[in-house]
Amino acid sequence: MSLAASIDAGDVSVPRHIAIIMDGNSRWAKAAGKSSRHGHQKGANALKKLLEDCRGLEVEYLTVYAFSAENWNRSEYEVSYLMDLLRHYLKKEVRQLHENGVRLRFIGDRSRLAKEIRSDMEIAEKLTRQNSALTLTVALSYGGRQEMVRAMQSIAQAVKDCLLLPENIDEQILIQSLDTAGLPDPDLLIRTGGEQRISNFLLWQSAYTEFYFTDTLWPDFSVDHFKEAIASFQQRERRYGARKSS
């Protein structure tokens, strides 16, 4: 049975936009007696499989937290490997994403990334720009607080340049200034690895997002775990501040 068929066929509330904090690669590797490199590779494989599941469910948007602004504080060895893994993914997997109709986007502070990586990212975004089967957004060198600072700086510059009046600043102006401009807010945010916090991820965008936390480490996150998260989402009533319907 396909994933889509196994989800309640009479329920139209399959999330349009799913965000995922992919936590637990290093702990998975340690428990398995392997290097962190092996854990990150297994994590990349788990993401590849999840993309297939999302396409099967006709999820329109998937946003993943791949490398946070705080991750720059990790060891030089681990950061270097993660950057190498990203370049490998961009070189080896983007063509397949394109053939599957997946659009690839990146959010975050690109200024800290190597020139070669920035170039690969731009090529991937340009290649897949017209695709519409699924939009995969990769949060890289990303922090929600830092994103809002950049947005405020952009708005302040527009005011300084007499392109925007202060009294005209509203939510839409801010939304358009965020890295995620053009994306709908996440319906469901999944965090693997047992922690129950969002760790500076999509702070503005998650105001009305449903959260799902699981102890499962990211490399072990399977189609069954994904189905459990979707089923949990389908049981919830999203009220956006309104009273519960009687």
Q: How far is CA 122 from CA 75, 86, 206, in A?
A: 27, 13, 27
* Cβ neighbours around 217 below 10 Å, total: 24
Question: Which candidate in 11, 23, 45, 84 is catalytic?
Answer: 23
Structure tokens at 46: 């788990």
Confirm if 187 and 210 have CB atoms less than 8 A apart: yes
Pair 205, 185: CB distance under 8 Å = yes
Adjacent-strand bridge partners of 227: none
- Contacting residues for 202 by C-beta, under 8 A, at least 6 apart: 19, 63, 139, 144, 180, 186, 189, 209
Calculate the alpha carbon distances from 245 to 10, 38, 232, 238, 239 in Å. Answer: 20, 48, 19, 10, 9
Active site residue 45: no
Copy the structure tokens of residue 26: 């290093």
71 among known catalytic residues = yes
Contact indicator for 179, 147 with CB cutoff of 8 Å:
yes
Buried b (16+ CB within 10 A) or exposed e, 165-200: eeeebeeeebbebbbbeebebbbbbbbbbeeeebeb
Catalytic residue among 71, 100, 131, 200: 71
- What is the rounded CA–CA span in Å between residue 63 and residue 180? 10
Residues belonging to the active site: 23, 71
